[in-house]
Amino acid sequence: MEAHCLAQGKGLSKTFPVKGQKKGTVLHAVSQVDLTIYEGETLALVGESGCGKSTLGRLMLGLLAPDQGQVFFDGQDLAALSPGERRALRRQMQLVFQDTAAALNPRCTIEGVLAEPFRIHRLCPREEIPRRAEALLEEVGLSGELLRRYPHELSGGQRQRVVLARALALRPRLVVCDEPVSALDVSVQAQMLNLLDDLQRAHHLTYLLISHDLSVVRHSAHRVCVMFLGRVCEVGPTRTLFQAPRHPYTRFLLDAVPQPDPTTRSQDRGILTGEIPSPVDPPPGCRFHTRCPYAREKCRQEVPLLRPVGPGQVACHFPLGEERSQ
């Protein structure tokens, strides 16, 4: 069966003005990104802090307008929708982010938090709300007793579940999880990731799972998209990407995570040199060339486009595992 493309970004670019610098100075947060998210999958978006993951996530949800490019949800161009159509579509896409303290109103009980989407969107009669809120809590593995409590009376893991429960109230199809577990203890992280998997199966959810940590996504993601300085380096099935990364930057990231199998580690570990370039003045050609041990003249001049390599796609002039004689 052909996979259904649920959300698609085409040629997405986003810059932000930089304060305190010459007028017109901008920061290139996301540059010329194509991204396809298939219905029912978990696509992980990984890369170092500041590479543009959250910005891309917000662009895909229509929460930020791109400078260039288009976003399609279920084939519909977000920019071409009327405000009413956009509101209806927004319900199908939700954002869950790491900072639960900011996401939850401290003066609101958990019941109040969970009642909010039902009230705003008039999803059910008022008297039904407490029962629906309790059902949501149970769905994320929490007891209904927590309804009367306040966010600060819950553990970090419980709060993260409440944020997830609130997102589920609208029965979304796409959930962008922005660093959903990075604030949690390692043991709680695994439980949260398992819960995401269970909810995906139960509700046929599609996730864009954002993380700076590759080891977090290894067991949850079907595919992985690696970003560096606003651009996509590599996209591919998780297993292939972990076993045989084709982009030098992907391999660098993998070398930074503890590998259970030492034979999959590269020989020339720790070879990365050069400073992390600035998104205000990104290097020409391949943005990774100032740090890449394989950089050649072509890399300094030509932007490598994302192209099919093996089962995935790679944006590199000289992908790993290919003849390096050019």
Contact footprint for ligand SF4 (CB under 6 A) = 247-248, 286, 288-289, 292, 294-295, 299, 304, 316-318
Q: Give φ, ψ of 127 to 5 degrees.
A: -70, -15
With CB under 5 to 8 Å by kind, the binding choice for 288 among ligand SF4, Mg ion, ligand ATP, none is ligand SF4
DSSP code at position 105:
-
Task: Tell me the C-alpha distance between 28 and 154, whole Å.
Answer: 38
- Asked whether the CA dihedral 265, 268, 269, 272 is positive or negative, the reply is negative
Q: Give φ, ψ of 277 to 5 degrees.
A: -70, 165
Footprint of ligand ATP on 23-42 (CB under 6 A):
27, 29
Task: Tell me the C-alpha distance between 235 and 56, whole Å.
Answer: 15
Q: Give φ, ψ of 93 to 5 degrees.
A: -130, 130
Residue 184 burial (CB count, 10 A): 21
Interface residue with Mg ion, options 54, 206, 238, 313 (CB under 5 A): 54
Instruction: Say if CB 172 and CB 92 are below 8 A apart.
Output: yes
CB of 201 to ligand SF4, least distance (A): 37
The CA–CA distances, whole Å, from 232 to 5, 11, 25, 162, 303 equal: 19, 11, 23, 32, 12
With CB under 5 to 8 Å by kind, the binding choice for 292 among ligand SF4, Mg ion, ligand ATP, none is ligand SF4
CB of 212 to Mg ion, least distance (A): 8
With CB under 5 to 8 Å by kind, the binding choice for 212 among ligand ATP, Mg ion, ligand SF4, none is ligand ATP
232 touches ligand ATP (CB under 6 A): no
- Asked whether the CA dihedral 265, 266, 271, 276 is positive or negative, the reply is negative
Closer CB to ligand SF4, 73 or 228, in the complex: 228
CB of 65 to ligand ATP, least distance (A): 12
189 touches Mg ion (CB under 5 A): no
Q: What is the x/- site pattern for ligand ATP, positions 2-21, by CB under 6 A?
A: --------------x-----
| Nearest Cα residue to 173 out of 213, 147, 206 | 206
Interface residue with ligand ATP, options 8, 55, 94, 100 (CB under 6 A): 55
Task: Tell me the C-alpha distance between 225 and 241, whole Å.
Answer: 9
| Burial state string for 140-160 with b = 16 or more CB within 10 A and e = fewer than 16 | bbbebebbeebbeebebbbbb
279 touches ligand ATP (CB under 6 A): yes
Instruction: Say if CB 47 and CB 287 are below 8 A apart.
Output: no
Closer CB to ligand SF4, 192 or 286, in the complex: 286
With CB under 5 to 8 Å by kind, the binding choice for 295 among ligand ATP, ligand SF4, Mg ion, none is ligand SF4
CB of 180 to ligand ATP, least distance (A): 12
Closer CB to ligand SF4, 73 or 249, in the complex: 249
Interface residue with ligand ATP, options 90, 149, 203, 212 (CB under 6 A): 212
DSSP code at position 52:
S
206 touches ligand ATP (CB under 6 A): no
Residues that bind ligand ATP (CB under 6 A): 16, 27, 29, 47, 49-55, 212, 279
Residues that bind Mg ion (CB under 5 A): 54
